[in-house]
Amino acid sequence: MTRLLVLGGTELANRFVAVAREAWPDLEIVLSLAGRTRNPRLPDCEIRTGGFGGPEGLAGYLETEAITALVDATHPYAAQISAHAAAAANSASVPCLHLVRPEWTASPGDNWQGVESNEVAARCLEELSAAHPLTVFLSIGRQELAPYRFLTNCHLVIRAVETPDEADLPPGAKVVLARGPFSEQGEAVFLRENGIDVIVSKNSGGSATYAKIAAARALQMPVVMVERPALPDGEIVETVEDAVRWVAARS
């Protein structure tokens, strides 16, 4: 193997690149970012920013740049990118791996309501707030706020790494800028100080933002959990170590 393309934008992708570079100092690694985060944390490797132009454009890039393997380490909810990666790799006859951190699973004391999308989550909040107003902690990032713009009986508290675009913000929403990891104690204080009644969260997995789930459990607070989209067919691993072994098997 001589040249590896990593679709990133996550801490998991950065850790994988760092470990792969340590294992194979001469391996050429290109880390591709969508470009949505303004000041991303980046490992020491070649960086490419921006889209490819769909699966056809990505397949062309794989061939033109002589990419010998593709690792999709994007966010678990970046369903379109993962689908494009699988299709492009198949078209270009390049091996493809999906590196996805494990989901959270409910523990005793958790009060989760699983929903399939943000649209369904918004409808759920509309039903829950029918009898009385709710203060909702939207822990879904800044790019999927549109379904919540029309809730009339909910006060929304949105936490994001960067300020959402004004056009995307639901009317009257409170924005809190912060970057994880967070502590359970700190999250409990945040929830109480903001008078949160219910949390809406993606099942992102990992430890960086899990503290809010643990805090909700301790406070007996309900969580509307937006479930992950299905991954495309292909090889899937959940740890950096397994991804490195996958690369080693193709060296």
pLDDT tens by residue, 123-163: 999 999 999 999 999 999 888 899 999 999 999 999 988 88
Please tell me if the domain spanning 3-102+230-248 has the same topology as the one spanning 112-226.
yes
Give one DSSP letter per residue of 33-84, joined into a string: E-S-SSS----SSEEEES--SHHHHHHHHHHHTT--EEEE---TT-HHHHHH
CB 176 within 8 A of CB 150: no
Nearest-angstrom CA–CA distance, 145 and 138: 9
User: What tens digit of pLDDT does each residue of 15-53 get?
Assistant: 999 999 999 999 999 999 986 665 567 888 899 999 999
- Segment 179-203 shows an average pLDDT of 96
Distance CA 63, CA 93 (A): 9
Residues 63, 75 contacting (CB under 8 angstroms): no
CATH top-level class of 112-226: alpha beta
Residue 39 has what pLDDT?
A: 59
Q: What is the pLDDT of residue 200?
A: 98
Rounded to whole angstroms, the Cα distance separating 200 from 140 reads 7
What are the angstrom distances between the C-alpha of 78 and each of 24, 38, 82, 98, 204? 28, 18, 6, 12, 11
Residue spans of the domains in the chain: they are 3-102+230-248, 112-226
User: Does the domain spanning 3-102+230-248 belong to CATH 3.40.50.720?
Assistant: yes
Q: Count the helix, strand and coil residues of the chain and give each as a percent rounded to the nearest 5.
A: 35, 20, 45
Distances in Å between the Cα of 127 and the Cα atoms of 31, 119, 152, 176, 186 are: 43, 13, 11, 26, 29
Question: Is residue 231 a contact partner of residue 207, using CB atoms and an 8 Å limit?
Answer: no
pTM above 0.85, yes or no: yes
**What average pLDDT does this structure show over 231-246?**
94
Q: Give the DSSP letter of residue 238.
A: S
Q: pLDDT band for 165, please (50, 70, 90 cuts).
A: confident
